[in-house]
Amino acid sequence: MACTTILVGKNASYDGSTIIARNEDSPAGQFTAKRMKVVLPADQPRHYRSTISHVEIDLPDNPLRYSSVPDACTSKGIWAAAGVNEADVAMTATETLTSNERVLGADPLVELTEAKGKEGEAGYVGEQSGGIGEEDMVTLVLPYIRSAREGVKRLGSLLEAYGTYEMNGIAFSDVDEIWWLETVGGHHWIARRVPDDCYVTMPNQLGIDEFDLADARGKKSEFMCSADLETWMDEHHLDLMTITARAAVEAKGSKTDGARISEASAAATRIFNPRDAFGSHSDADHVYNTPRAWSMHRYLAPHGGWDDPAGALGPESDDLPWCRAPERKLTIEDVKYALSLHYQGTPFDPYGRLGSDSTRGIYRPIGINRNNFLAVLQIRPYAPAGSRALQWMAFGSNIFNALVPLFANVNELPEYLSNTEEGRVSTESLYWASRLIAALADAQFSLNTAHIERYQLAVGSKGHALVAKADREVAKLTRTDAAARLVAANERLAAMLRDETDRLLFNVLFTTSENMRNAYSRSDG
């Protein structure tokens, strides 16, 4: 499923929070309606069966409560997508990735094989289950981890044991760390800790561009991987870095500890580029994927030379950095805007006046018509454990929606965000109200832009104010007493959001109606 991800280390964020954020986009040609849900320990399965792959896994008997964003219709599985557990550990899964033929030949994906023939008859071959995938990962991992590192280890062990039928990237965060895991073939994986002073951009490509195998097999301070990754790479000749290139990486200083080492030492440490080894650089990537990373970098680090005609960091570059220090500390609003980008200020903006018919719309935007939801998971170090986690949520196309903060560690969530029904369009549901607003506003984009901007400002400012009020209310309460207060705070946030969304829908509907093709100015009164 197409998505876009941003990760922000604690020293790169405005308030010292770790922030992980991802759009989930519906497949082309369909809606995949989403809702919010809290999964209580009693409701978590003890035995899990995947709808897509039919893999069956016994689960521990001590799950934690967690928030999630499942499909409104579960006929194709849960697809829990993003959430925070009661230990204040966040997870978003998944960012679909691309790979290459060498990797998939060396370690094929583990796909469901249907039974052949009839049981009891000659030649019958029974069904062989597939591995785990996006449908399953949050349900299998998030209720059982108490740190981001534990998330990497648990998911990694599941991948090694059961395999996967698709390439994915998964983010984990706690109050101190963010880890990013990428699957490699059917059973292998790599993970890297996000530097505290950096942000990461991920646009549906295998993204990690530097990996230290010595650390992964030793201290695991910044890198982790599947147990046999190094020998498997060697067996299948997957490392494409030359000794000279490896030495050059080290000569400019390691991104983990700033060390400078010799060419011989560089070869020994096995620094390599996973994006080259495991990823893809296809023509489709240059239209669908890399331009999104370019547009995010262009916004988050605007003086990086992205628009230099003579530079090598254009929208189709294969060398855009996986992580980078921002030019200033990043806010929730920065993350939201970056994950709503449609190439504003460039010839590629489908709503813009720059460029030409041949350039406008040539690249896949981040803010697209089929954005399903945006979840921004913020773990705040200065807040008490019970109220430290905020799950900022928006539904529908990100160009036209607004983020609302919700306290994640609660037993229930507001109906306005949880009552989505598949196929039943209603303004009683934020998901469908957001879809309606986007479709109407798009038809008269320039005339509706002011309405959208006022809506985003109102929801954002009131959201911050209501969170600050709730923080003051629960500061001196026990975690048990605070929980009920946080439920009430979420209801106030949802009520504010509904009022503002209803107001926006009215304004957009009126503006677009007044500019219908059959409009006529003479009154019939």
Is 3 among the catalytic positions? yes
Residue 261 has pLDDT above 60, yes or no: no
Q: What is the mean pLDDT of residues 217-230?
A: 97
Higher pLDDT, 144 or 244: 144
Q: What is the mean pLDDT of residues 344-371?
A: 95
Tokens of 254: 């390691």
Contacts (Cβ under 8 Å, ≥6 apart) of 354: 345, 346, 347, 360
Helix axes 430-443, 445-474, angle to 10 degrees: 150
Alpha helices, DSSP H only, in 117-226?
A: 137-141, 148-162, 213-217
Q: What is the mean pLDDT of residues 325-332?
A: 98
Q: What is the mean pLDDT of residues 189-199?
A: 98
Q: What is the mean pLDDT of residues 235-263?
A: 67
Q: How confident is the model at residue 242 (pLDDT cuts 50, 70, 90)?
A: confident
Residue 247 has pLDDT above 90, yes or no: no
* Among 8-17, 63-72, 301-310, the least confident range: 301-310
Residue 188 has pLDDT above 60, yes or no: yes
Of the candidates 265, 165, 253, the one whose C-alpha atom is nearest the C-alpha of residue 210 is 253
Residue 518 has pLDDT above 70, yes or no: yes
Would you say 398 and 387 are in contact if contact means Cβ atoms under 8 Å apart? no
Predicted local confidence at residue 515, as pLDDT: 95
Rounded to whole angstroms, how far apart are CA atoms 503 and 433? 11
Of the residues 3, 198, 225, 323, which is catalytic?
A: 3
Q: How confident is the model at residue 514 (pLDDT cuts 50, 70, 90)?
A: very high
Task: Tell me what the pLDDT averaged over the chain comes to.
Answer: 94
Predicted local confidence at residue 524, as pLDDT: 64
Amino acid 489 reads: A
Sign of CA dihedral 65, 70, 75, 76: negative
Q: pLDDT tens across 478-499, in order?
A: 888 899 999 999 999 999 999 9
Q: What is the separation of C-alpha 471 from the centre of its chain, rounded to a whole number of angstroms?
A: 27
Predicted local confidence at residue 260, as pLDDT: 40
Q: What is the mean pLDDT of residues 202-225?
A: 96
Q: pLDDT tens across 389-448, in order?
A: 999 999 999 999 999 999 999 999 999 999 999 999 999 999 999 999 999 999 999 999
Predicted local confidence at residue 265, as pLDDT: 52
Q: What is the DSSP string of 400-466?
A: S---EEEESSSS---HHHH---TT---TTSHHHHHHHHHHHHHHTHHHHHHHHHHHHHHHHHHHHHH
The H or E element containing residue 494 is helix 479-514
- List the end-to-end C-alpha distance of the chain, in Å, as a whole number: 51
Would you say 52 and 112 are in contact if contact means Cβ atoms under 8 Å apart? yes
Alpha helices, DSSP H only, in 113-200?
A: 137-141, 148-162
Q: How confident is the model at residue 253 (pLDDT cuts 50, 70, 90)?
A: low
Predicted local confidence at residue 294, as pLDDT: 98
* Among 238-247, 291-300, 330-339, the least confident range: 238-247
The count of other CB atoms within 10 Å of the CB of residue 85 is: 26
Q: How confident is the model at residue 269 (pLDDT cuts 50, 70, 90)?
A: low
Rounded to whole angstroms, how far apart are CA atoms 401 and 155? 32
| Residues of the chain by 3-state class (helix, strand, coil), percent to 5 | 35, 20, 45
Longest dimension (CA), the chain: 87
Residue 255 has pLDDT above 90, yes or no: no
Exposed e or buried b per residue across 21-39, where buried means at least 16 C-beta atoms within 10 angstroms of its C-beta: bbbbbbeeeebbbbbbbbb
Give me the percent of the chain exceeding a pLDDT of 70.
Answer: 95
**In which region does residue 77 sit, left (phi positive, over 0), alpha (psi from -120 to 50) or beta (all else)?**
left
Tokens of 451: 């309405």
Q: How confident is the model at residue 244 (pLDDT cuts 50, 70, 90)?
A: confident
Residue 256 has pLDDT above 50, yes or no: no
- With H, G, I as helix, E, B as strand and everything else as coil, classify residue 398: coil
Exposed e or buried b per residue across 49-72, where buried means at least 16 C-beta atoms within 10 angstroms of its C-beta: ebebbebebeeeeebbbbbbbbbb
Rounded to whole angstroms, how far apart are CA atoms 289 and 316? 9
Rounded to whole angstroms, how far apart are CA atoms 124 and 480? 57
The H or E element containing residue 491 is helix 479-514
- With H, G, I as helix, E, B as strand and everything else as coil, classify residue 302: coil
Q: How confident is the model at residue 145 (pLDDT cuts 50, 70, 90)?
A: very high
Contacts (Cβ under 8 Å, ≥6 apart) of 427: 433, 436, 502, 505
Predicted local confidence at residue 258, as pLDDT: 37
4: phi then psi, degrees, rounded to nearest 5? -140, 135
Exposed e or buried b per residue across 253-265, where buried means at least 16 C-beta atoms within 10 angstroms of its C-beta: ebbbeeeebeeee
Contacts (Cβ under 8 Å, ≥6 apart) of 308: none
